Chain A
Amino acid sequence: DTAVSQTPKYLVTQMGNDKSIKCEQNLGHDTMYWYKQDSKKFLKIMFSYNNKELIINETVPNRFSPKSPDKAHLNLHINSLELGDSAVYFCASSQGRGRASGELFFGEGSRLTVL
């Protein structure tokens, strides 16, 4: 059983379109994250939710909107896609705060290509 699963795994779309990526974790964790990994493999946090509450919101364009319907799910919606949005988007989860918050369990990633 996959612990952190995200869909779709691959997404190819045109500039200006709107797309969503979904993430689910069955680990019973309280905290979920979205990270973006660019072509140089740099992994950068975008958002974090703890028990459905937004706790981290990095300097991300407001075209990106996360939504957490419950603590097991965290989705990412992107409006008006731009070429620079092409990257691998990783969902992750962790158990609570403190030390455990640094031990992240990542999903397989969603590779977004904007043409």
Chain B
Amino acid sequence: GQNIDQPTEMTATEGAIVQINCTYQTSGFNGLFWYQQHAGEAPTFLSYNVLDGLEEKGRFSSFLSRSKGYSYLLLKELQMKDSASYLCAVRPLRTDKLIFGTGTRLQVFP
């Protein structure tokens, strides 16, 4: 079976750091992806991990531990425009489809 869990909602303050966790159980693993989706808009690609460790991309970093079935997205120096839903997605083996989690809605307050 396939299961991806993320917290439903999180809040944080402008300028702070926030970590959004994602745990997954899938039939085989071939990469984990994070997407950002602002309200009423399309999801946009943020990051990709296939090996264990941290991938850094400006203010955003994503971490993966395959043995624990765990990833997190780290957002630093939060800005108001970071208020959005963050979707964790896993690609199982031998398929090109992505299985998405239900997303974490992040609200950034001044």
Contacts and interface: CB of A to CB of B under 8 A. Distances in A.
Contact of A40 (B33, B87, B102): B102
Contacts, number: 59
Contacts of A58: 97
Contacts of A12: none
Given A56-B97, A97-B96, A101-B91, A43 B31 contact: no
B95 to A, nearest CB: 7
Nearest to B99: A45
Interface of B: 31, 33, 35, 37, 41-45, 48, 50, 85, 87, 89, 91, 95-100, 102-103, 105
Interface of A: 31, 33, 40-45, 48, 50, 55-56, 58, 90, 94, 97, 99, 101-109
